[in-house]
Amino acid sequence: MNVLTVERLTYRYPDVTEPALRDVNLSVGEGELVVVCGLSASGKSTLLRAASGLVPHFHGGEISGRVVTDGLDTREHGPGEIAARCGALFQDPETQVVMGTVRAELAFPLENRGEPAAAVARGVEEAALALGIAHLLDRPTHELSGGELQRVALGAALAGRPALVALDEPTSQLDPVAGDELVWLLRRLNEEWGTSILLAEHRLERCLPAADRVVALDRGTVACDARPREFLEWAAAHSRALQTPGAQLFGRAGLRPPPASVKEARATLRDHGLLPRTGEDASPRDAAPSGDARPVKRGLFRRGAREPRAVELDRAWFEWPEGRAALRGLTLAVSPGERVALMGRNGAGKSTLLRLAAGLAQPTRGRVRAAGRVALLLQAPGDYLVREHVREELPAAFLEAAGLSHVADRHPGDLSGGERQRLALAIVLAGDPAAAVCLDEPTRGMDRGHKGALAAHLRELAATGAAVLVATHDAELAAAFADRVVLLGDGEVVADGAPADILGGGWYFATETARILGGAGGVLEPAPGADLLRRRMTVEVAP
Amino acid sequence: MIYRRRDTPLHAARASAGLAYCAAPALVALLCDNPIVLGAALLCVVGAGTAAGVGRELRRAGRIAVPLALMIAAINPLVTREGMTVIARLGEVPGLGQLDVTLEATVYGLLLGLRALVLIEAFALYSAAVDPDDVLRLFRRVSYRSALTATLATRMVPVLARDARRLADAQRCRPARPAPRLALVRAVAGGALDRAVDVAATLEVRGYGAARRPPRTRRPWSRHDLGFVAAAAAMMALALAGTLAGAGGVQAYPVLDVEAGPAQFALAAALVAAALAPFADRRGVTR
């Protein structure tokens, strides 16, 4: 039996000429975990909103076709009624929590249904235990981290045990640890409770291992609906931007079938004799070629004290008024033209470091020096765009240089995520040349194609002599643009070195290619990884 | 002003008790304008706030309330033409005519400022010490949606303050000419609307649109519930009795007559004792 049936659905938002969804047919069976993917603005969010009844009841617009969610036709039943059958979770954790405490938040949907107090209390306890948030029940929601908030919002979506949960990029605002934990939780709910899950996600390598099916959307239509491995075959032929790094690695090396998980990839490589069998060889860390992936604080004296510095933090502390230290005597020097990825979990001090470098905040102790202006692009590019037209934000010459002349007459709010970010970056770079350019989490909610373009742009910026510092959770982006990775933990530098050293041997802070190859050869990206595999294949057959 | 659960008797009391308790000093300030009684009402709020561990929140509210109270005190003698005792002649002021500052208007301005201070601090105490989710439950049987809207609107304030700070930071990062003020106001308003739409969508998918009237639930009254209701009732009764007996008032005009006798001091002492009594029992405050 299907918990979601979508038949010939076409939907257009109000005041928009192009439909967001065109003739979509889709079904989700009981207990299935279906991943929805596609480039930005391909219709993923709209499809999920149609499943929860927000389209068309909340957003308005024109709709044709039919959506039936667990027996309720969304043309006849609004989101309030469908809420009991379909839980929904969106991207931004902050706007998904409406009550003051976790207990009240979990109770809210049950109370809305008019459940008696005993049933509400039981539902709250069960949801809290299932999601591992029982210890948070009496905590105020405003004190929770992004990962905790997202778990609480998931708990609220699950309270009352709906047959289907629709999740719209729930990990996009989370660090890799919290993101992986959330996907793991979804998998457990799917396997143990039998809850059907419809999950829209950009980072497919994170959720394909758990998926039963993958639905790829392209400009509002279903371009592929297949099992993960078949989807990856399709992506290799039709939409390379949707390929996972593991699938790219296999495709370039001429290996088949494309792997849906690191485990699958390693098993295939082992079967081909391209990876040492368990116990035959040393650990992945030992396989790193340079052998110097040591977690040392090299910082200020890393490259000799006389080298010019674009930005330098010297034993910098930053303490919040309530006493919590965000940075603890951090020392770091970045040279002109250097490309640095700042990594670490949420709260490690990455954003604070960038704010200090750009002069938005002053260190409470220690010193921060810069060789010139430090341009900073904060997490939300939309905050820079306050005028009615793009042409009012920047002079024409700057728009031309940023490749945005064609949108000069549009409202900044109507730009795509990638265009908005390019415009905001062009705004902070306008004026005097910057000694350093800092970006804070620039890839949130960004598809793989846009990430590639951003990495190329960052390399170009560094080639002009500016130091580039990017705070990111995205190991693939770090591998694509950085020549140095600094790993922060609790406001201190815990590792500082070449990307191959830092991202090659980690668990969380590692690229998928590195995890598949066990960090061998310091390879982080699919192309050099495929070269390595081809060399191994040659060695295998040569004798 | 954000509510945070603390291990104090006031936080352990039910919302209706807390609400009545915080409203009582405000009522005292509205009924009485004797400076001794008003001072006692302020002492009740500050003492309760300190005992409830929300002194910092009250001090923060004081940063807004004290300048406002001083402004009221300064404006009243300039706009009031009553009182017999002139203490300053400011001469002819265009549009206002002859401006004479009287002792009566000055003192009454101070009393009005003190009254405003008590009201703001009482609201700050309520915001910091009474669980808004419990208040929502309290009113949901009467007018669920209005209560929820009010609660959410209150909760949006810190979120929007954070948004405004973020926007200000982004503008500081612009090397070129700063954006005009109007554009910034428009951006903040637009951001607030976007936030509100997101929150509204969340409410919809949590079933708010189809919310049903909840069944009546009975929760036994704890000693803290009873203690704070009794304290609130005592404060209100004392204020009422003082007003009826003439102990809580002041004759401001035409000639100032402020009584400061044993009746006023007894009333003030009784008010403070009633307000602080429920904090003596700290058993069962942890949760």
| pLDDT tens digits along A240-258 | 889 999 999 999 999 989 9
Tokens linked to A244: 């996972």
Name every chain B residue with its beta carbon within 8 A of the beta carbon of A150.
none
Contacts of A375 in chain B (CB under 8 A): 173, 175
Q: Which among B3, B206, B214 has the least Cβ separation from residue A83?
A: B206
Tell me which chain B residue has its CA closest to the CA of residue A86: B205
Strand partners, A165: A87, A197
CA distance A447 to A216: 13
The closest CB to that of B217, out of A117, A157, A388, belongs to A117
Q: Given an 8 Å threshold on Cβ–Cβ distance, is B210 in contact with A427?
A: no
Q: Do A82 and A168 sit in the same domain of this protein?
A: yes
List, for residues B104-131, the tens digit of each pLDDT value. Answer: 999 999 999 999 999 999 999 999 999 8
Per-residue pLDDT of B2-52, as tens digits, reads 788 889 999 999 999 999 999 999 999 999 999 999 999 999 999 999 999
For an interface test with B, give the residue of A74, A169, A383, A432 to mutate (most B CBs within 10 A). A383
CATH number of the domain where residue A443 is located: 3.40.50.300
Residue A396 falls inside a structural domain: no
Query: Which stretches of A38-145 are DSSP H helices?
Result: 44-51, 54-57, 79-82, 102-112, 117-131
Contacts of A158 (CB under 8 A, 6+ apart): A87, A127, A130, A131, A165, A189, A195
How many domains in chain A?
3
Residue of chain B minimizing CA distance to A381: B170
Q: Residue A257, preceding bond cis, omega within 30 degrees?
A: yes
Cα–Cα distance between A122 and A128 in angstroms, integer?
Answer: 10
Asked, for residue A388, whether it belongs to a domain, the answer is: no
Range of A542's domain? 244-288+506-543
Residues B171, A431: C-beta atoms closer than 8 Å: no
**Residue A413: inside a domain, yes or no?**
no
Distance from CA of B48 to the nearest CA of A (A): 22
Amino acid at A367: R
The nearest alpha carbon in chain B to A376 belongs to B173
Identity of the residue in A52, A98, A428 whose CB atom sits nearest the CB atom of B203:
A98
Contact A140 B184 (CB under 8 A): no
| A193 and A113 within one domain | yes
For residue A293, pLDDT beyond 50: no
**Nearest CB to A116 within list B133, B136, B215:** B215
Does ipTM exceed 0.90?
Answer: no
Percent of chain A having pLDDT more than 70?
93
* Least confident among B174-178, B194-198, B206-210: B174-178
Asked if A367 and A303 sit in the same domain, the reply is yes
Kindly state whether residues A315 and A277 are assigned to the same domain: no
**What is d(CA B23, CA A479) in angstroms, rounded to the nearest whole number?**
60
Residue B166 contacts A, CB cutoff 8 Å: yes
Contact A90 B201 (CB under 8 A): yes
Of B170, B199, B206, the CB nearest to A383: B170
In the prediction, which pLDDT does A543 show? Answer: 52
B6 contacts chain A (CB < 8 A): no
Interface subset of B 48-107, CB within 8 angstroms of A: none
Q: Residue B28: which of B211, B274, B281, B278 has the closest Cα?
A: B274
Q: Are strands A467-471 and A365-370 parallel, antiparallel or unpaired?
A: unpaired
Residues of chain A positioned with their CB less than 8 A from the CB of B158: 142
- Residues paired with A343 in a beta bridge: A487
Distance from CA of A485 to the nearest CA of B (A): 25
The structure tokens listed for A454 are: 């951003």
- Fill in the amino acid letter for A95: T
CB of A138 less than 8 A from some CB of B: yes
Taking CA–CA distances from A154, the nearest residue in chain B reads: B206
What rounded mean pLDDT belongs to chain A?
87
Measured CA to CA, the distance from residue B131 to residue A47 in angstroms comes to 38
Mean pLDDT of all residues in B211-232: 86
Is A391 part of the contact surface with chain B (CB cutoff 8 Å)? no
Q: How confident is the model at residue A541 (pLDDT cuts 50, 70, 90)?
A: low
Residue B88 three-state SS: strand
DSSP character string of B164-183: HHHHHHHHHT--SSPPPHHH
Confidence of residue B175 (pLDDT cuts 50, 70, 90): confident
- For an interface test with B, the pick among A111, A376, A384, A399 (most B C-beta atoms closer than 10 Å) comes out as A111
> Is residue A251 located within the same domain as residue A133?
no
Alpha helices in A403-446 (DSSP H): 417-429
Best mutation target among A57, A112, A113, A356 (most B Cβ atoms within 10 Å) is A112
% of chain A surpassing 90 pLDDT: 57
CB A489 within 8 A of CB A353: no
Give pLDDT tens digits for B189-198: 887 888 888 8
φ/ψ of residue A482, rounded to 5: -85, 150
Element spanning B123, H or E: helix B103-129
Say what the alpha-carbon torsion angle B77, B78, B81, B87 is, to the nearest 10 degrees. Answer: 60
Mutate to test the interface with B, among A52, A95, A142 (most CBs of B within 10 A): A95
What secondary structure, in 3-state letters, does A7-64 show? EEEEEECCCCCCCCEEEEEEEEECCCEEEEECCCCCCHHHHHHHHCCHHHHCCCCEEE
| Window B:173-192, CB contacts with A under 8 Å | 173-176, 179, 183-184, 186-187, 190
The answer as to whether A417 is a domain residue is no
Q: For chain A, positions 96-125, list CB contacts with chain B under 8 A.
A: 96-101, 104, 108-109, 111-114, 116-117
Cβ distance A80 to B186 less than 8 Å, yes or no, reads no
Paired tokens of B58: 């009250």
Alpha carbon distances (Å) from A375 to A425, A434, B243, B270:
9, 6, 64, 62
Together in a domain, A304 and A448? yes
- Residue range A32-53: mean pLDDT, rounded: 93
> Would A391 be classed as within a structural domain?
no
Q: Which residues, at least 6 apart from B84, have a Cβ–Cβ distance to it below 8 Å?
A: B102, B104, B254, B255
pLDDT of residue A485: 96
Q: Kindly state the helix (H) or strand (E) to which residue A87 belongs, with its residue range.
A: strand A86-89
Q: Could you give the C-alpha distances from A524 to A249, A379, A536, in angstroms and in order?
A: 10, 26, 17
Using a CB–CB cutoff of 8 Å, tell me whether A54 touches chain B.
Answer: yes
| Same-domain check for residues A368 and A257 | no
Spatial CA neighbour of B285 closest among B9, B5, B6, B48: B9
- Inter-residue contact A379 to A173 (CB < 8 Å): no
Based on the fold, state whether residues A248 and A273 are members of the same structural domain: yes
Domain boundaries, given as residue ranges, for chain B: 9-132+221-280, 142-210
Four-CA torsion A204, A209, A213, A219, nearest 10 degrees = 0
B238, amino acid identity: L
| Helix or strand holding residue B196 (H, E) | helix B181-205
CA B13 to chain centre: 19
DSSP A101: B
Chains A and B: how many Cβ contacts under 8 Å?
A: 150
Q: What pLDDT does residue A422 have? A: 85
B215 within 8 A of A116, measured Cβ to Cβ: yes
pLDDT at residue A291 in the model:
38
Does a cis peptide bond (omega within 30 degrees of 0) precede residue A56?
A: yes
| Beta-carbon contacts of residue A263 (< 8 Å; ≥ 6 apart) | A209
Q: Do the chains contact at B210 and A112, CB–CB below 8 Å?
A: yes
Contact between chains at A386 and B167 (C-beta distance less than 8 A): yes
The candidate with the shortest Cα–Cα distance to A179, out of A157, A222, A210, A158, is A210
Q: Are residues A442 and A529 in the same domain?
A: no
CB contact under 8 A, B179 and A431: no
